Amino acid sequence: MTPELDIEPGSSHAYHTGDWRTRQPVYRNKWPPCSQTCPASEDIQAWLALATEQQWQAAWRKLTERNPFPATMGRICYHPCESACNRKHLDSAVNIHAMERYLGDRAITRGWKHKAVCDTPQTQRVAIVGAGPAGLSCAFQLARQGYPVTIFDAQAAPGGTLYSAIPDYRLPKSVLAKEINAILALGIELRLNSRVGKEISESDLRDQFDAVFLAIGTQRPRQYLTKESSKHSVMSGLEFLHRLNRGEQIALLSKRKSKQVAVVGGGNTAIDVARCVRRLGAEVTVICAQDSHGNHHRELGTEMPASRQEVIEAETEGVQLIYRAGVCRLVRSGEHLSGIEVAHVDQVYDRHGNFNPVLFDGTEEFVPAGLAIFAIGQEADWQGLERLSQATESEGVWLGGDAVSKSKLAATAVGSGYQAAMSIMARLKGESFVFDDHKKAQITFRQMQLHYYPKQPRHEGETNEQRLDGFNEVVTGLADDDAAHEARRCLSCGVCFRCDNCWHFCPDAAVIKTTADYEIDYNYCKGCGICAQECPCGHIDMERLND
3-state SS, residue 353: coil
| x-marked contacts with another protein along 400-439 as a string, rule CB under 8 A | ----------------------------------------
Q: In terms of DSSP bridges, do strands 283-287 and 260-264 run parallel, antiparallel, or are they unpaired?
A: parallel
Burial class (CB in 10 A: 0-12, 13-18, 19+), 464: middle
Alpha-carbon torsion (447, 452, 457, 460), positive or negative: negative
Compare residues 78 and 518 and give the one whose CB is closer to another protein: 518
Residue 87: CB partners within 8 Å, gap ≥ 6?
93, 94, 489, 490, 491
Residues within window 489-528 making contact with ligand SF4, judged by CB under 6 A: 490-493, 496-502, 506, 508, 510-511, 518, 520, 525-528
- By the rule CB under 8 A, 533 interacts with another protein: yes
Compare residues 338 and 456 and give the one whose CB is closer to another protein: 456
Selection from another protein, ligand FAD, ligand SF4, none that 130 binds (CB < 5 to 8 A by kind) is ligand FAD
Residues within window 104-123 making contact with another protein, judged by CB under 8 A: 110, 112
Selection from ligand FAD, another protein, ligand SF4, none that 55 binds (CB < 5 to 8 A by kind) is another protein
Region from 204-212, 254-262, 408-416, 442-450 binding ligand FAD, contact rule CB under 6 A = 408-416
Question: Which member of 71, 96, 287, 321 binds ligand SF4 (CB under 6 A)?
Answer: 96
Selection from ligand SF4, ligand FAD, another protein, none that 257 binds (CB < 5 to 8 A by kind) is none
- By the rule CB under 6 A, 459 interacts with ligand SF4: no
Q: Could you give the CA distance from residue 28 to residue 494 in angstroms, rounded to a whole number?
A: 8
Compare residues 368 and 384 and give the one whose CB is closer to ligand FAD: 384
| # residues contacting ligand SF4 (CB under 6 A) | 42
Question: Which member of 26, 53, 203, 472 binds another protein (CB under 8 A)?
Answer: 53
Cα-based distances in Å from 76 to 134, 277, 412, 475: 15, 19, 13, 11
Which H helix or E strand runs over 150? Answer: strand 149-152
Region from 26-34, 110-118, 163-171, 232-240 binding ligand SF4, contact rule CB under 6 A = 26-34
- By the rule CB under 6 A, 377 interacts with ligand FAD: no
What is the DSSP secondary-structure string of 395-445?
A: GTEEE-GGGT-SS--HHHHHHHHHHHHHHHHHHHHT------GGGSPB--G
Contact 280, 248 (CB under 8 A): no
Selection from ligand FAD, ligand SF4, another protein, none that 110 binds (CB < 5 to 8 A by kind) is another protein
Residue type, 266: G
3-state SS, residue 263: strand
